[in-house]
């Protein structure tokens, strides 16, 4: 059971820290952290929790990562559903806490694309650019594939495990720097679902993409690492 609790708490911290930074601190005039700060926040949440509970559960905190590690031969199929349920519970609890805190200031709103750190496509939220469904899918697919490749490489027995959390956290930071203007960055179906539950409407209607693209990308990333990159033992 401890590994499931580790996934709950790890995913809670990812959503509370990453989405919390986005909703509380990103848009504060003159003092806000901006997109760079949000990107760092997501990376730091994963970095810190990889070291805190990664030794217990493997530190997935993301259904797409679980699918990717399964495809890459690093994860058991029988654990897939319990892990995803744990991740969804952690993400939803975090979103609930964020909602309650925002309501404490009367600041919760569902207006506009990206409200409450939801993901989106075909909405001009940043730079007056509206990225198509295909563009959003491609971005989420590619970025999740590389995320899983980095995770598998950083946690390989041929790598230095002391630095795995740093590599993974920095990878997630870079992913957000690239794709916040495109989709508000998902690469994590649990993170997308928790926020969409509270915003409803278009956020829920578009949620399918933020399940399909990251999971497909994660699976491809796992297969690429396993078959093309993984160092084989020579007897």
Q: Cα(188)–Cα(30) distance, rounded to whole angstroms? A: 30
CATH number, domain with residue 6: 1.20.1080.10
pTM for the model stands at 0.95
Q: pLDDT tens, 207-223?
A: 999 999 999 999 999 99
Q: Cα(51)–Cα(55) distance, rounded to whole angstroms? A: 7
Please give the pLDDT value at position 32.
Answer: 79
Please give the pLDDT value at position 205.
Answer: 97
Please give the pLDDT value at position 226.
Answer: 96
Tokens of 141: 């697919």
Asked whether residue 123 is assigned to any structural domain, the reply reads yes
Q: Three-state DSSP class for 233? A: coil
Asked whether residue 66 is assigned to any structural domain, the reply reads yes
Asked whether residue 206 is assigned to any structural domain, the reply reads yes
Asked whether residue 148 is assigned to any structural domain, the reply reads yes
Asked whether residue 10 is assigned to any structural domain, the reply reads yes
Asked whether residue 213 is assigned to any structural domain, the reply reads yes
Asked whether residue 235 is assigned to any structural domain, the reply reads no
Q: Cα(128)–Cα(173) distance, rounded to whole angstroms? A: 23
Please give the pLDDT value at position 235.
Answer: 59
The residue segments making up the domain with residue 207 are: 2-229
Phi and psi of 113, rounded to 5°? -65, 140
Please give the pLDDT value at position 234.
Answer: 62
Asked whether residue 234 is assigned to any structural domain, the reply reads no
Phi-psi region of 156 (alpha: psi -120 to 50; beta: other; left: phi over 0): beta
Q: Cα(54)–Cα(3) distance, rounded to whole angstroms? A: 9
Q: What's 231's DSSP letter?
A: P
Which among 63, 58, 84 is positioned nearest to 211, based on CA atoms?
63
Domain count, the chain: 1
Please give the pLDDT value at position 28.
Answer: 76
Which among 66, 86, 61, 84 is positioned nearest to 76, based on CA atoms?
66
Q: Report, as ranges of residue numbers, the positions in the chain whose pLDDT lies below 70.
A: 234-235
Please give the pLDDT value at position 31.
Answer: 72
Q: Is 170 exposed, middle or buried (0-12, 13-18, 19+ CB in 10 A)?
A: middle
């Amino acid at each position: 059971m401890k590994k499931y609790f580790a996934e709950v708490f790890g995913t809670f911290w990812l959503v509370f820290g990453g989405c919390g930074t986005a909703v509380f601190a990103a848009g504060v005039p003159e003092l806000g952290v901006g997109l760079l700060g949000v990107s760092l926040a997501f990376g730091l949440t994963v970095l810190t929790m990889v070291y805190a509970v990664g030794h217990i559960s493997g530190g997935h905190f993301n259904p797409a990562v679980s699918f990717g590690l399964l495809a890459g031969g690093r994860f058991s199929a029988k654990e897939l559903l319990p892990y995803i349920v744990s991740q969804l519970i952690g993400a939803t609890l975090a979103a609930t806490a964020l909602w309650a805190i925002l309501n404490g200031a009367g600041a919760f709103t569902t207006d506009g694309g990206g409200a409450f750190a939801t993901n989106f496509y075909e909405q001009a939220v940043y730079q007056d650019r509206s990225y198509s469904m295909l563009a959003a899918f491609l971005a989420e697919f590619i970025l999740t594939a590389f995320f899983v490749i980095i995770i598998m490489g950083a946690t390989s027995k041929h790598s230095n495990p002391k630095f795995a959390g740093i590599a993974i956290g920095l990878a997630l930071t870079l992913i957000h720097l690239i794709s916040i203007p495109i989709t508000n960055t998902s690469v994590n179906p649990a993170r997308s679902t928790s926020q969409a539950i509270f915003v409803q409407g278009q956020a829920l209607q578009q949620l399918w993409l933020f399940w399909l693209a990251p999971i497909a990308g994660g699976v491809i990333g796992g297969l690429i690492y396993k078959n093309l990159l993984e160092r084989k033992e020579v007897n």
